[in-house]
Amino acid sequence: MDRLDNTVRPYAWGSPTAIPALLGVEPTGEPQAEMWMGAHPGAPSRTARGTLVEVIEADPERELGAATTAKFGPRLPFLLKLLAAGAPLSLQVHPDLRQARAGHEDEERRGIPVDAPHRNYKDANHKPELICALTEFEGLCGFREPARAAALLDGLGVDTLKPYVDLLHARPEEAALREVLTALLTADRDDMAHTVAEAAAACDRLGGAWAPYAGIAHHHPGDPGVIAAMLLNHVRLQPGEALFLGAGVPHAYLSGLGVEIMANSDNVLRCGLTPKHVDVPELLRIVRFEPGDPAVLRPEAAPDGEEVYDTPVDEFRLSRHVLPEGAAARDLTLPTPQILLCTAGAVDAGEHRLTPGHSVFVPAGEKAEVSGAGTLFRATVVV
């Protein structure tokens, strides 16, 4: 096993205290948004043998196993994170694999630099993701039923929102949602800023179901994404609950600390709540305008004590082991690569003592026996 030394990304929306509190260190005063565990070239984990990118590149089959290498190539196909939201993230969607490959090929052909601010497809991979709450965690996920979104907007009593309310009562529902989101993102920015200001004041006054949007507007005054956010389901996860976010599903995280795992990709199309580039035509091509309640995942218990978060992708598999005091050691050896992350208590993984926020990389087939009293998340792949 390799103990991982991981980079914390200081994105502006990050909580300044949540990750330091988990690690048991003093806050720096700066936002600490994400701690990355994996072999993403932007911030690979470091080991005593070099970065995890270098370790894998030196002998992919030994580190990843023959089956993983054959299925995904000579790279770790997932990125594991601690994510700490102190303010809303951008409202966004991710492409599916076919869309990502086509979009990446098109932008490469057109010579758009990979670091250009208007670049949509930085790589040719999709980006399904799973967020599992460690604290109470709030987010937006998928479209509400249009009638419910209409009621929420109508309840604000803002005259300039009436046309959107009327559109949301149209049929079919998918077309209504598409038309409203298109109208919001293409409206005159000054007119929309005035509408958003009125809506934010009403949300603040009304509270209740409108309270989350008052908070969003506080961080993003005048942004049409504030109104777009009201088209989406507001979700509050309790610790241990999770959300899976597939291709085309609009979402944003609002607050809380969680363990996030995703396919190793940087492809994001933004809908709002951001000063960054919003490519409206491409966004509308990718978004799935399918209303419905989001499915909150709870782990499924296996006989060996593993609790698995079941998802329909192979690039990652996230599970949890809660080790009680005095329990026998558990053998977590797998023929696939693993990252083990402690989030509570103290767990011995081989020769390494893991406390909250600390992690190890386990090469494929390497002996992985764990013991102690604590909570351990396990990230691996499906082959």
Identify the DSSP state of 191: H
Q: Can you spell out the DSSP letters for 26-73?
A: ---SS---EEEEE--TTS--EETTEEHHHHHHH-HHHHH-HHHHHHH-
- Give CA separation, 222 vs 78, 139, 217, in Å: 36, 20, 7
Pair of tokens at residue 15: 């909580």
Which residues are catalytic, by number?
270
- Give CA separation, 199 vs 158, 218, 229, in Å: 6, 11, 12
**Residue 350 class from Cβ within 10 Å (0-12 exposed, 13-18 middle, 19+ buried)?**
middle
CA 83 to CA 80: how far, in whole Å?
9
Which one, of 63, 56, 4, 57, lies nearest residue 35 by Cα?
A: 4
Which one, of 73, 112, 65, lies nearest residue 333 by Cα?
A: 65
How many CB atoms are located within 10 Å of the residue 156 CB? 22
Dihedral over alpha carbons 39, 42, 43, 47 (to 10 degrees): 40
Which one, of 261, 249, 263, lies nearest residue 97 by Cα?
A: 263
Specify the 3-state DSSP secondary structure of 332.
coil
Q: Do 265 and 125 meet the contact criterion of CB atoms below 8 Å apart?
A: yes
Pair of tokens at residue 279: 């490519």
Dihedral over alpha carbons 97, 102, 106, 109 (to 10 degrees): 90
Determine the distance from the C-alpha atom of residue 194 to the mean position of all C-alpha atoms in its chain, rounded to a whole number. 31
